[in-house]
Structure 1
Protein backbone atom coordinates (compact mmCIF):
# COMPACT_ATOMS: atom_id res chain seq x y z
CA UNK A 1 0.00 0.00 0.00
CA UNK A 2 1.45 3.36 -1.05
CA UNK A 3 0.68 5.58 1.90
CA UNK A 4 1.80 9.18 1.80
CA UNK A 5 0.97 12.56 3.26
CA UNK A 6 -0.76 15.09 1.06
CA UNK A 7 0.00 18.81 1.05
CA UNK A 8 -2.23 19.69 3.99
CA UNK A 9 -0.88 16.82 6.11
CA UNK A 10 2.74 17.71 5.29
CA UNK A 11 2.04 21.30 6.30
CA UNK A 12 0.58 20.08 9.59
CA UNK A 13 3.71 18.04 10.32
CA UNK A 14 5.94 21.01 9.47
CA UNK A 15 3.99 22.91 12.11
CA UNK A 16 4.59 20.05 14.60
CA UNK A 17 8.34 20.27 14.02
CA UNK A 18 8.21 24.06 14.38
CA UNK A 19 6.46 23.54 17.72
CA UNK A 20 9.29 21.20 18.74
CA UNK A 21 11.90 23.85 17.96
CA UNK A 22 9.99 26.54 19.84
CA UNK A 23 8.48 24.65 22.78
CA UNK A 24 10.27 21.31 22.93
CA UNK A 25 9.35 17.62 22.43
CA UNK A 26 6.47 17.46 24.98
CA UNK A 27 4.49 20.08 23.06
CA UNK A 28 5.41 18.43 19.75
CA UNK A 29 4.20 15.05 21.02
CA UNK A 30 0.86 16.54 21.98
CA UNK A 31 0.52 18.19 18.56
CA UNK A 32 1.44 14.92 16.85
CA UNK A 33 -1.24 13.14 18.87
CA UNK A 34 -3.80 15.70 17.68
CA UNK A 35 -2.96 14.74 14.08
CA UNK A 36 -2.71 10.98 14.63
CA UNK A 37 -5.96 10.72 16.61
CA UNK A 38 -7.88 11.25 13.37
CA UNK A 39 -5.88 8.65 11.43
CA UNK A 40 -6.15 4.91 10.90
CA UNK A 41 -4.16 3.00 13.54
CA UNK A 42 -2.13 1.19 10.85
CA UNK A 43 -1.05 4.54 9.43
CA UNK A 44 0.06 5.69 12.87
CA UNK A 45 1.98 2.44 13.34
CA UNK A 46 3.93 3.21 10.15
CA UNK A 47 4.78 6.63 11.54
CA UNK A 48 6.05 5.12 14.79
CA UNK A 49 7.79 1.84 13.91
CA UNK A 50 11.58 1.99 13.41
CA UNK A 51 11.40 -1.28 11.46
CA UNK A 52 9.57 0.40 8.60
CA UNK A 53 11.36 3.74 8.82
CA UNK A 54 12.73 3.22 5.31
CA UNK A 55 9.34 2.37 3.85
CA UNK A 56 6.64 4.83 2.77
CA UNK A 57 9.16 7.67 2.45
CA UNK A 58 6.38 10.17 1.75
CA UNK A 59 4.76 9.37 5.10
CA UNK A 60 6.08 11.58 7.90
CA UNK A 61 7.74 9.59 10.69
CA UNK A 62 7.65 10.38 14.40
CA UNK A 63 11.25 10.79 15.67
CA UNK A 64 12.59 8.25 18.16
CA UNK A 65 14.12 11.22 19.95
CA UNK A 66 10.62 12.05 21.21
CA UNK A 67 10.34 8.70 23.00
CA UNK A 68 10.04 8.98 26.76
CA UNK A 69 7.73 7.89 29.58
CA UNK A 70 4.45 9.78 29.78
CA UNK A 71 1.35 9.70 31.99
CA UNK A 72 -1.82 9.91 29.91
CA UNK A 73 -5.44 8.86 29.74
CA UNK A 74 -6.23 6.56 26.83
CA UNK A 75 -9.30 4.39 26.12
CA UNK A 76 -10.78 5.49 29.45
CA UNK A 77 -7.72 4.34 31.42
CA UNK A 78 -4.97 6.18 33.27
CA UNK A 79 -1.71 4.78 31.89
CA UNK A 80 2.02 5.31 32.13
CA UNK A 81 3.41 4.65 28.66
CA UNK A 82 6.99 4.02 27.55
CA UNK A 83 7.13 5.40 24.01
CA UNK A 84 10.15 3.26 23.09
CA UNK A 85 7.65 0.40 22.83
CA UNK A 86 5.68 0.34 19.55
CA UNK A 87 2.42 -0.74 21.17
CA UNK A 88 2.61 2.00 23.76
CA UNK A 89 3.69 4.62 21.22
CA UNK A 90 0.78 3.73 18.94
CA UNK A 91 -1.61 3.93 21.89
CA UNK A 92 -0.20 7.34 22.84
CA UNK A 93 -0.30 8.93 19.39
CA UNK A 94 -3.40 7.25 17.93
CA UNK A 95 -5.28 7.27 21.23
CA UNK A 96 -6.23 3.62 20.76
CA UNK A 97 -4.67 0.22 20.11
CA UNK A 98 -6.32 -2.70 18.30
CA UNK A 99 -9.64 -0.84 18.33
CA UNK A 100 -11.56 -3.71 16.73
CA UNK A 101 -10.53 -6.07 19.56
CA UNK A 102 -11.40 -3.39 22.11
CA UNK A 103 -14.88 -2.93 20.63
CA UNK A 104 -15.40 -6.70 20.38
CA UNK A 105 -14.69 -7.16 24.09
CA UNK A 106 -17.02 -4.34 25.10
CA UNK A 107 -19.83 -5.80 22.99
CA UNK A 108 -19.19 -9.47 23.80
CA UNK A 109 -18.69 -9.39 27.56
CA UNK A 110 -21.55 -10.38 29.85
CA UNK A 111 -21.99 -10.26 33.62
CA UNK A 112 -19.94 -12.92 35.38
CA UNK A 113 -17.73 -13.73 32.39
CA UNK A 114 -14.25 -15.17 32.81
CA UNK A 115 -11.79 -13.75 30.27
CA UNK A 116 -8.22 -14.85 29.57
CA UNK A 117 -5.83 -12.37 27.96
CA UNK A 118 -2.83 -14.50 26.98
CA UNK A 119 0.17 -12.37 26.11
CA UNK A 120 -1.30 -9.42 27.96
CA UNK A 121 1.73 -7.13 27.61
CA UNK A 122 0.98 -3.97 29.64
CA UNK A 123 -2.68 -4.99 29.86
CA UNK A 124 -4.46 -2.82 27.31
CA UNK A 125 -7.12 -5.49 26.71
CA UNK A 126 -7.06 -7.11 30.16
CA UNK A 127 -7.68 -3.72 31.76
CA UNK A 128 -10.44 -2.91 29.28
CA UNK A 129 -12.10 -6.26 30.03
CA UNK A 130 -11.80 -5.70 33.78
CA UNK A 131 -13.27 -2.23 33.39
CA UNK A 132 -16.21 -3.52 31.36
CA UNK A 133 -16.89 -6.41 33.75
CA UNK A 134 -16.86 -3.95 36.65
CA UNK A 135 -19.49 -1.89 34.82
CA UNK A 136 -21.54 -5.04 34.23
CA UNK A 137 -21.46 -6.04 37.88
CA UNK A 138 -18.65 -8.59 38.05
CA UNK A 139 -16.54 -11.24 36.40
CA UNK A 140 -12.87 -12.24 36.15
CA UNK A 141 -10.17 -10.81 33.91
CA UNK A 142 -7.08 -13.05 33.97
CA UNK A 143 -3.86 -11.95 32.28
CA UNK A 144 -0.98 -14.25 31.35
CA UNK A 145 2.23 -12.28 30.84
CA UNK A 146 5.76 -13.62 31.38
CA UNK A 147 7.84 -10.42 31.07
CA UNK A 148 8.60 -8.95 34.50
CA UNK A 149 8.63 -5.32 33.32
CA UNK A 150 5.25 -5.71 31.60
CA UNK A 151 3.80 -7.43 34.68
CA UNK A 152 4.95 -4.51 36.80
CA UNK A 153 3.28 -2.02 34.45
CA UNK A 154 0.08 -4.06 34.41
CA UNK A 155 -0.03 -4.28 38.20
CA UNK A 156 0.53 -0.52 38.51
CA UNK A 157 -2.14 0.27 35.91
CA UNK A 158 -4.69 -1.98 37.59
CA UNK A 159 -4.05 -0.25 40.91
CA UNK A 160 -4.12 3.21 39.32
CA UNK A 161 -7.50 2.49 37.72
CA UNK A 162 -8.99 0.61 40.70
CA UNK A 163 -9.49 -2.55 38.64
CA UNK A 164 -9.17 -6.22 39.50
CA UNK A 165 -6.93 -8.12 37.10
CA UNK A 166 -5.60 -11.55 38.08
CA UNK A 167 -2.05 -11.66 36.73
CA UNK A 168 -0.24 -14.94 36.05
CA UNK A 169 3.47 -14.16 35.46
CA UNK A 170 4.06 -17.00 33.02
CA UNK A 171 3.84 -17.94 29.36
CA UNK A 172 1.51 -20.62 28.05
CA UNK A 173 2.89 -23.50 26.04
CA UNK A 174 2.60 -27.16 25.12
CA UNK A 175 4.74 -28.35 28.04
CA UNK A 176 5.95 -27.04 31.38
CA UNK A 177 9.50 -25.68 31.19
CA UNK A 178 11.67 -22.62 31.56
CA UNK A 179 12.63 -20.81 28.37
CA UNK A 180 14.29 -17.65 27.18
CA UNK A 181 12.10 -14.68 26.30
CA UNK A 182 13.82 -12.95 23.40
CA UNK A 183 13.70 -9.47 21.96
CA UNK A 184 13.27 -8.86 18.23
CA UNK A 185 16.54 -7.50 16.84
CA UNK A 186 14.63 -5.15 14.52
CA UNK A 187 13.31 -3.23 17.53
CA UNK A 188 14.54 -1.61 20.73
CA UNK A 189 15.01 -4.14 23.54
CA UNK A 190 12.42 -2.18 25.51
CA UNK A 191 9.82 -2.97 22.84
CA UNK A 192 7.85 -5.51 24.88
CA UNK A 193 5.14 -6.18 22.32
CA UNK A 194 7.44 -8.07 19.92
CA UNK A 195 9.21 -10.29 22.43
CA UNK A 196 8.72 -14.02 22.02
CA UNK A 197 10.04 -17.45 22.93
CA UNK A 198 11.28 -17.75 19.34
CA UNK A 199 12.76 -14.28 18.80
CA UNK A 200 16.18 -13.69 17.26
CA UNK A 201 17.26 -10.88 19.56
CA UNK A 202 18.82 -10.63 22.99
CA UNK A 203 17.42 -12.80 25.79
CA UNK A 204 15.42 -10.47 28.03
CA UNK A 205 14.85 -13.00 30.82
CA UNK A 206 14.19 -16.64 31.57
CA UNK A 207 10.46 -17.22 32.01
CA UNK A 208 8.23 -20.00 33.26
CA UNK A 209 6.15 -21.75 30.61
CA UNK A 210 3.07 -23.60 31.86
CA UNK A 211 0.20 -25.60 30.35
CA UNK A 212 -3.23 -24.05 30.71
CA UNK A 213 -4.62 -27.56 31.25
CA UNK A 214 -2.67 -27.83 34.51
CA UNK A 215 -3.24 -24.25 35.66
CA UNK A 216 -7.00 -24.30 34.95
CA UNK A 217 -7.92 -27.57 36.65
CA UNK A 218 -10.02 -25.74 39.25
CA UNK A 219 -11.50 -23.26 36.76
CA UNK A 220 -15.22 -23.94 36.35
CA UNK A 221 -15.99 -21.30 33.73
CA UNK A 222 -14.23 -19.77 30.74
CA UNK A 223 -16.03 -17.49 28.31
CA UNK A 224 -13.53 -15.58 26.16
CA UNK A 225 -9.88 -16.25 25.35
CA UNK A 226 -7.63 -13.77 23.56
CA UNK A 227 -4.35 -15.34 22.44
CA UNK A 228 -1.64 -13.12 20.93
CA UNK A 229 1.83 -14.43 21.75
CA UNK A 230 4.06 -13.79 18.75
CA UNK A 231 4.07 -17.22 17.15
CA UNK A 232 3.46 -19.41 20.20
CA UNK A 233 -0.30 -19.64 19.68
CA UNK A 234 -0.26 -23.21 18.37
CA UNK A 235 1.83 -24.50 21.30
CA UNK A 236 -0.35 -22.67 23.83
CA UNK A 237 -3.55 -24.09 22.32
CA UNK A 238 -2.07 -27.59 22.33
CA UNK A 239 -1.46 -27.23 26.06
CA UNK A 240 -4.98 -25.86 26.57
CA UNK A 241 -6.96 -28.45 24.56
CA UNK A 242 -8.57 -30.23 27.51
CA UNK A 243 -9.58 -26.93 29.12
CA UNK A 244 -11.17 -25.67 25.91
CA UNK A 245 -13.05 -28.95 25.40
CA UNK A 246 -14.21 -28.98 29.02
CA UNK A 247 -15.29 -25.34 29.40
CA UNK A 248 -16.23 -24.46 25.79
CA UNK A 249 -15.51 -20.71 25.78
CA UNK A 250 -17.94 -19.00 23.43
CA UNK A 251 -15.21 -16.99 21.65
CA UNK A 252 -11.53 -17.49 20.91
CA UNK A 253 -9.55 -14.58 19.46
CA UNK A 254 -6.30 -15.96 18.09
CA UNK A 255 -3.60 -14.03 16.27
CA UNK A 256 -3.46 -15.62 12.82
CA UNK A 257 -1.02 -13.75 10.59
CA UNK A 258 1.71 -16.37 10.05
CA UNK A 259 1.20 -18.35 6.86
CA UNK A 260 3.61 -21.09 7.94
CA UNK A 261 1.46 -22.10 10.93
CA UNK A 262 -2.05 -20.98 9.97
CA UNK A 263 -3.17 -24.33 8.52
CA UNK A 264 -2.03 -26.27 11.61
CA UNK A 265 -3.67 -23.69 13.88
CA UNK A 266 -7.01 -24.03 12.08
CA UNK A 267 -6.72 -27.84 12.06
CA UNK A 268 -6.18 -27.96 15.83
CA UNK A 269 -9.14 -25.68 16.48
CA UNK A 270 -11.23 -27.77 14.10
CA UNK A 271 -10.40 -30.84 16.20
CA UNK A 272 -11.59 -28.90 19.25
CA UNK A 273 -14.88 -28.23 17.41
CA UNK A 274 -14.20 -24.54 16.75
CA UNK A 275 -14.70 -22.82 13.42
CA UNK A 276 -13.61 -19.37 12.20
CA UNK A 277 -16.43 -16.86 11.91
CA UNK A 278 -14.67 -14.94 9.16
CA UNK A 279 -14.11 -11.97 11.45
CA UNK A 280 -10.49 -10.83 11.69
CA UNK A 281 -9.97 -8.15 14.31
CA UNK A 282 -6.56 -6.48 14.09
CA UNK A 283 -4.92 -9.76 12.92
CA UNK A 284 -6.92 -11.77 15.48
CA UNK A 285 -9.25 -14.36 13.95
CA UNK A 286 -12.48 -15.06 15.83
CA UNK A 287 -13.43 -18.71 16.39
CA UNK A 288 -16.73 -19.98 17.83
CA UNK A 289 -17.70 -23.47 18.98
CA UNK A 290 -19.89 -25.51 16.68
CA UNK A 291 -23.31 -25.94 18.24
CA UNK A 292 -24.57 -29.51 17.91
CA UNK A 293 -27.79 -31.24 18.79
Structure 2
Protein backbone atom coordinates (compact mmCIF):
# COMPACT_ATOMS: atom_id res chain seq x y z
CA UNK A 1 0.00 0.00 0.00
CA UNK A 2 1.43 3.46 -0.86
CA UNK A 3 2.53 5.69 1.96
CA UNK A 4 0.11 8.43 2.91
CA UNK A 5 -2.18 9.80 5.55
CA UNK A 6 -4.05 7.06 7.45
CA UNK A 7 -7.43 6.32 5.90
CA UNK A 8 -10.49 6.85 8.09
CA UNK A 9 -13.09 4.47 6.73
CA UNK A 10 -14.96 3.97 10.03
CA UNK A 11 -16.13 7.30 11.44
CA UNK A 12 -19.53 8.55 10.20
CA UNK A 13 -19.73 10.92 7.26
CA UNK A 14 -19.63 14.46 8.64
CA UNK A 15 -16.92 13.70 11.19
CA UNK A 16 -14.39 15.74 9.17
CA UNK A 17 -15.98 19.06 8.13
CA UNK A 18 -14.04 21.17 5.63
CA UNK A 19 -13.28 24.61 7.05
CA UNK A 20 -13.30 27.75 4.99
CA UNK A 21 -9.53 28.15 5.15
CA UNK A 22 -8.90 24.68 3.72
CA UNK A 23 -11.38 25.29 0.92
CA UNK A 24 -9.87 28.68 0.14
CA UNK A 25 -6.32 27.32 0.08
CA UNK A 26 -7.15 24.52 -2.34
CA UNK A 27 -9.27 26.86 -4.46
CA UNK A 28 -6.28 29.18 -4.77
CA UNK A 29 -4.07 26.32 -5.97
CA UNK A 30 -6.76 25.10 -8.36
CA UNK A 31 -7.34 28.57 -9.78
CA UNK A 32 -3.93 28.79 -11.43
CA UNK A 33 -2.04 32.01 -11.85
CA UNK A 34 1.19 30.36 -10.67
CA UNK A 35 4.16 29.46 -12.79
CA UNK A 36 4.73 25.70 -12.86
CA UNK A 37 7.58 25.62 -10.32
CA UNK A 38 5.84 27.97 -7.90
CA UNK A 39 2.55 26.12 -8.32
CA UNK A 40 4.20 22.85 -7.36
CA UNK A 41 5.84 24.37 -4.29
CA UNK A 42 2.66 26.13 -3.21
CA UNK A 43 0.66 22.95 -3.80
CA UNK A 44 3.09 20.99 -1.66
CA UNK A 45 2.72 23.50 1.18
CA UNK A 46 -1.08 23.42 1.02
CA UNK A 47 -0.97 19.61 0.94
CA UNK A 48 1.03 19.60 4.17
CA UNK A 49 -1.22 22.14 5.88
CA UNK A 50 -4.59 20.86 4.65
CA UNK A 51 -4.20 17.20 3.64
CA UNK A 52 -7.64 16.05 4.73
CA UNK A 53 -9.72 14.08 5.27
CA UNK A 54 -12.68 16.38 4.69
CA UNK A 55 -16.32 15.33 4.31
CA UNK A 56 -17.95 17.21 1.45
CA UNK A 57 -21.12 16.98 -0.66
CA UNK A 58 -20.84 17.63 -4.38
CA UNK A 59 -23.59 17.14 -6.92
CA UNK A 60 -25.81 15.60 -4.17
CA UNK A 61 -23.10 12.96 -3.55
CA UNK A 62 -21.00 12.52 -0.43
CA UNK A 63 -17.23 12.14 -0.47
CA UNK A 64 -14.52 11.84 2.15
CA UNK A 65 -11.69 13.77 0.54
CA UNK A 66 -7.93 13.52 0.90
CA UNK A 67 -6.86 16.48 -1.27
CA UNK A 68 -3.22 16.23 -0.26
CA UNK A 69 -2.88 12.97 -2.18
CA UNK A 70 -5.60 12.81 -4.84
CA UNK A 71 -6.28 15.07 -7.81
CA UNK A 72 -10.02 14.36 -7.96
CA UNK A 73 -10.36 15.11 -4.26
CA UNK A 74 -8.61 18.45 -4.78
CA UNK A 75 -10.97 19.35 -7.60
CA UNK A 76 -14.08 18.48 -5.59
CA UNK A 77 -12.94 20.50 -2.58
CA UNK A 78 -11.82 23.50 -4.61
CA UNK A 79 -14.79 23.65 -6.99
CA UNK A 80 -17.62 22.22 -4.83
CA UNK A 81 -18.69 20.01 -7.75
CA UNK A 82 -17.73 16.77 -9.41
CA UNK A 83 -14.78 16.75 -11.81
CA UNK A 84 -15.13 15.27 -15.32
CA UNK A 85 -18.24 17.34 -16.05
CA UNK A 86 -17.81 17.05 -19.82
CA UNK A 87 -17.40 13.26 -19.62
CA UNK A 88 -20.45 12.88 -17.39
CA UNK A 89 -22.45 14.85 -19.93
CA UNK A 90 -21.33 12.47 -22.69
CA UNK A 91 -22.40 9.27 -20.89
CA UNK A 92 -25.39 10.64 -19.01
CA UNK A 93 -28.10 9.68 -21.49
CA UNK A 94 -27.10 6.00 -21.35
CA UNK A 95 -27.18 5.82 -17.56
CA UNK A 96 -30.83 4.92 -17.14
CA UNK A 97 -32.15 3.03 -14.09
CA UNK A 98 -31.02 -0.58 -14.36
CA UNK A 99 -28.27 0.12 -16.89
CA UNK A 100 -24.97 -1.69 -16.30
CA UNK A 101 -21.96 0.57 -15.85
CA UNK A 102 -18.47 -0.95 -15.66
CA UNK A 103 -15.82 1.40 -14.26
CA UNK A 104 -12.27 0.16 -14.88
CA UNK A 105 -9.95 2.33 -12.82
CA UNK A 106 -12.65 3.58 -10.47
CA UNK A 107 -10.40 5.76 -8.28
CA UNK A 108 -12.49 7.31 -5.45
CA UNK A 109 -15.77 6.95 -7.32
CA UNK A 110 -16.55 10.16 -9.18
CA UNK A 111 -17.84 8.16 -12.16
CA UNK A 112 -19.17 5.15 -10.25
CA UNK A 113 -21.23 7.23 -7.82
CA UNK A 114 -22.49 9.49 -10.60
CA UNK A 115 -23.71 6.43 -12.50
CA UNK A 116 -25.26 4.84 -9.41
CA UNK A 117 -27.05 8.10 -8.60
CA UNK A 118 -28.73 7.75 -12.01
CA UNK A 119 -30.00 4.31 -11.01
CA UNK A 120 -27.34 2.32 -12.87
CA UNK A 121 -25.92 -0.91 -11.48
CA UNK A 122 -22.19 -0.36 -11.18
CA UNK A 123 -19.16 -2.62 -11.12
CA UNK A 124 -16.21 -0.54 -9.88
CA UNK A 125 -12.80 -2.11 -10.54
CA UNK A 126 -9.84 -0.64 -8.67
CA UNK A 127 -6.27 -1.95 -8.44
CA UNK A 128 -5.01 0.02 -5.42
CA UNK A 129 -6.03 -1.29 -2.00
CA UNK A 130 -5.76 2.17 -0.43
CA UNK A 131 -7.85 3.84 -3.12
CA UNK A 132 -10.40 1.02 -2.97
CA UNK A 133 -10.77 1.65 0.78
CA UNK A 134 -11.61 5.30 0.08
CA UNK A 135 -13.98 4.26 -2.68
CA UNK A 136 -15.72 1.83 -0.32
CA UNK A 137 -16.30 4.57 2.24
CA UNK A 138 -17.74 6.91 -0.40
CA UNK A 139 -20.09 4.20 -1.64
CA UNK A 140 -21.36 3.45 1.87
CA UNK A 141 -21.93 7.16 2.52
CA UNK A 142 -24.29 7.36 -0.48
CA UNK A 143 -26.19 4.06 -0.33
CA UNK A 144 -29.24 5.69 1.27
CA UNK A 145 -29.60 8.10 -1.64
CA UNK A 146 -33.00 7.72 -3.31
CA UNK A 147 -32.72 5.87 -6.61
CA UNK A 148 -29.14 4.79 -5.93
CA UNK A 149 -28.47 1.81 -8.16
CA UNK A 150 -25.77 0.19 -6.08
CA UNK A 151 -22.04 -0.36 -6.56
CA UNK A 152 -20.02 -3.56 -6.35
CA UNK A 153 -16.26 -3.14 -5.91
CA UNK A 154 -13.67 -5.60 -7.16
CA UNK A 155 -10.10 -5.08 -5.95
CA UNK A 156 -7.91 -6.11 -8.87
CA UNK A 157 -5.87 -4.71 -11.71
CA UNK A 158 -6.94 -5.62 -15.24
CA UNK A 159 -4.61 -6.70 -18.02
CA UNK A 160 -3.85 -9.21 -20.72
CA UNK A 161 -3.50 -12.29 -18.55
CA UNK A 162 -3.78 -13.45 -14.97
CA UNK A 163 -0.69 -12.85 -12.85
CA UNK A 164 1.03 -10.08 -10.95
CA UNK A 165 2.45 -6.76 -12.10
CA UNK A 166 3.90 -3.59 -10.60
CA UNK A 167 1.41 -0.76 -10.09
CA UNK A 168 3.17 2.61 -10.08
CA UNK A 169 1.39 5.22 -7.96
CA UNK A 170 2.10 8.95 -7.89
CA UNK A 171 2.75 10.10 -4.32
CA UNK A 172 0.85 13.36 -4.93
CA UNK A 173 -2.00 11.78 -6.84
CA UNK A 174 -2.93 8.24 -5.86
CA UNK A 175 -5.56 8.32 -8.59
CA UNK A 176 -2.77 8.44 -11.17
CA UNK A 177 -1.70 4.81 -10.97
CA UNK A 178 -0.40 2.84 -13.93
CA UNK A 179 0.79 -0.61 -14.89
CA UNK A 180 2.59 0.95 -17.86
CA UNK A 181 6.09 1.49 -16.51
CA UNK A 182 7.05 3.78 -19.38
CA UNK A 183 4.27 6.18 -18.37
CA UNK A 184 5.72 6.43 -14.85
CA UNK A 185 9.23 6.91 -16.28
CA UNK A 186 8.02 9.78 -18.46
CA UNK A 187 6.29 11.63 -15.61
CA UNK A 188 8.29 13.70 -13.12
CA UNK A 189 7.71 13.22 -9.43
CA UNK A 190 7.89 10.63 -6.69
CA UNK A 191 6.52 7.17 -7.52
CA UNK A 192 5.74 4.24 -5.28
CA UNK A 193 5.66 0.64 -6.49
CA UNK A 194 3.07 -1.93 -5.44
CA UNK A 195 2.82 -5.58 -6.44
CA UNK A 196 -0.79 -6.21 -7.47
CA UNK A 197 -2.83 -9.07 -8.86
CA UNK A 198 -3.94 -8.76 -12.48
CA UNK A 199 -6.85 -10.49 -14.22
CA UNK A 200 -8.30 -10.32 -17.73
CA UNK A 201 -11.44 -8.23 -17.99
CA UNK A 202 -13.45 -11.18 -19.32
CA UNK A 203 -12.72 -13.11 -16.12
CA UNK A 204 -13.63 -10.17 -13.89
CA UNK A 205 -16.92 -9.56 -15.67
CA UNK A 206 -17.70 -13.28 -15.67
CA UNK A 207 -17.23 -13.48 -11.92
CA UNK A 208 -19.47 -10.43 -11.49
CA UNK A 209 -22.16 -12.01 -13.67
CA UNK A 210 -22.02 -9.30 -16.32
CA UNK A 211 -22.66 -10.35 -19.89
CA UNK A 212 -22.85 -6.98 -21.61
CA UNK A 213 -22.17 -3.55 -20.19
CA UNK A 214 -24.32 -0.65 -21.30
CA UNK A 215 -21.46 1.77 -20.57
CA UNK A 216 -17.83 0.88 -19.95
CA UNK A 217 -15.37 3.52 -18.77
CA UNK A 218 -11.65 2.72 -18.87
CA UNK A 219 -9.12 5.04 -17.24
CA UNK A 220 -5.88 3.22 -16.38
CA UNK A 221 -3.16 5.64 -17.48
CA UNK A 222 -1.79 4.11 -20.67
CA UNK A 223 -2.95 0.51 -20.08
CA UNK A 224 -6.37 0.94 -21.71
CA UNK A 225 -5.44 -1.15 -24.74
CA UNK A 226 -4.29 -4.08 -22.60
CA UNK A 227 -7.59 -3.95 -20.73
CA UNK A 228 -9.92 -3.73 -23.71
CA UNK A 229 -8.27 -5.53 -26.63
CA UNK A 230 -7.99 -8.98 -24.96
CA UNK A 231 -11.62 -8.65 -23.88
CA UNK A 232 -12.81 -7.85 -27.40
CA UNK A 233 -10.82 -10.79 -28.78
CA UNK A 234 -12.11 -13.23 -26.14
CA UNK A 235 -15.77 -12.19 -26.13
CA UNK A 236 -18.58 -12.67 -28.66
CA UNK A 237 -19.46 -9.48 -30.53
CA UNK A 238 -22.85 -9.46 -28.79
CA UNK A 239 -21.11 -9.00 -25.42
CA UNK A 240 -19.12 -5.95 -26.41
CA UNK A 241 -20.23 -2.85 -24.46
CA UNK A 242 -22.82 -0.59 -26.03
CA UNK A 243 -20.83 2.52 -25.11
CA UNK A 244 -17.11 2.89 -24.35
CA UNK A 245 -15.60 5.95 -22.68
CA UNK A 246 -11.83 5.60 -22.80
CA UNK A 247 -9.05 7.85 -21.59
CA UNK A 248 -6.63 8.80 -24.35
CA UNK A 249 -4.16 11.20 -22.73
CA UNK A 250 -1.61 8.38 -22.22
CA UNK A 251 -2.31 6.68 -25.56
CA UNK A 252 1.35 7.03 -26.56
CA UNK A 253 1.96 4.03 -24.28
CA UNK A 254 -0.56 1.83 -26.12
CA UNK A 255 0.68 -1.17 -28.09
CA UNK A 256 -2.55 -1.26 -30.12
CA UNK A 257 -5.26 1.33 -30.64
CA UNK A 258 -8.68 0.02 -29.55
CA UNK A 259 -10.38 2.83 -31.44
CA UNK A 260 -9.38 1.21 -34.74
CA UNK A 261 -10.86 -2.15 -33.78
CA UNK A 262 -14.07 -0.64 -32.43
CA UNK A 263 -14.71 1.59 -35.44
CA UNK A 264 -13.98 -1.32 -37.78
CA UNK A 265 -16.77 -3.25 -36.04
CA UNK A 266 -19.51 -0.65 -36.19
CA UNK A 267 -18.69 1.81 -33.44
CA UNK A 268 -18.64 5.54 -34.04
CA UNK A 269 -16.93 8.34 -32.17
CA UNK A 270 -19.75 10.37 -30.63
CA UNK A 271 -17.77 12.76 -28.51
CA UNK A 272 -14.31 13.73 -27.34
CA UNK A 273 -12.94 15.77 -24.48
CA UNK A 274 -9.41 16.85 -23.71
CA UNK A 275 -8.67 13.48 -22.08
CA UNK A 276 -11.29 10.99 -23.29
CA UNK A 277 -13.12 9.61 -26.31
CA UNK A 278 -16.67 8.22 -26.42
CA UNK A 279 -17.49 5.41 -28.87
CA UNK A 280 -21.02 4.08 -29.41
CA UNK A 281 -22.07 0.79 -31.02
CA UNK A 282 -24.12 1.89 -34.05
CA UNK A 283 -25.08 -1.71 -34.94
CA UNK A 284 -27.15 -1.88 -31.74
CA UNK A 285 -30.59 -0.36 -32.25
CA UNK A 286 -31.04 -0.17 -28.46
CA UNK A 287 -28.65 2.78 -28.41
Taking structure 2 as the reference length, the TM-score comes to 0.75
Residue 122 (structure 2) aligned to one of 138, 141, 156: 141
The Cα shift of 1:32 comes to 5.0
Q: 1:266 Cα deviation (Å)? A: 2.1
Contact residue 86 and residue 193 of structure 1 kept, 8 A: yes
Q: Secondary structure at the match of 2:116?
A: helix
Mapped partners of 1:44, 1:104: distance in 2: 24
| Contact 1:121–1:151 (8 Å) recurs in 2 | yes
2:74 is aligned to: 89
| Displaced runs of 4 or more, over 4 A | 45-48
Alpha carbons 2:101, 2:215 under 8 Å: kept: yes
- Corresponding residue for residue 11 of structure 2: none
- In the TM superposition, what whole-angstrom CA distance separates every residue of 1:118-141 from its partner, at most 9, and x where no partner exists? 1000111101111111xxxxx410
Does residue 166 of the first structure (1) align with residue 149 of the second (2)? no
Output the CA distance in 2 between the equivalents of 1:273 and 1:122.
33
Bigger drift between 249-258 and 237-246 goes to 237-246
Unaligned runs of 5+ in 1: 1-24, 37-42, 134-138
Q: CA deviation at 1:276?
A: 1.6
- 2:79 is the alignment partner of 1:98: no
Normalising by structure 1, report the TM-score.
0.74
Asked whether 1:270 is paired with 2:263, we answer: yes
* Cα distance change of structure 1 residues 45 and 170 upon mapping to structure 2, 3 Å threshold: farther
RMSD over aligned Cα, in angstroms?
3.0
Alignment equivalent of 1:226, drawn from 209, 217, 237:
217
The residue matched to 2:213 in structure 1 has which SS?
Answer: coil
Which structure's relative contact order is higher, taking Cα pairs within 8 Å and 6+ residues apart?
2
Partner of 2:246: 254
1:113 to 75, 88, 99: 99
What whole-Å deviation, never above 9, does each CA across 1:194-246 have from its counterpart, x for those lacking one?
11112345444221111112233342331000111100001001221134723
Is 1:54–2:69 an aligned residue pair? no
Q: Which runs of 5+ in 2 are unaligned?
A: 1-17
Q: CA deviation at 1:282?
A: 4.9
The alpha carbon displacement at 1:259 in A equals 5.2
- Whichever structure has more helix as a proportion of its residues is 1
- Cα distance in 2 between the residues matched to 1:132 and 1:86: 24
Assess if the C-alpha contact under 8 Å between 1:212 and 1:243 holds in 2.
no
Alignment correspondent of 1:195: 177
Indicate conservation of the 8 Å contact 1:177/1:210, yes or no.
yes
* Number of residue equivalences: 247
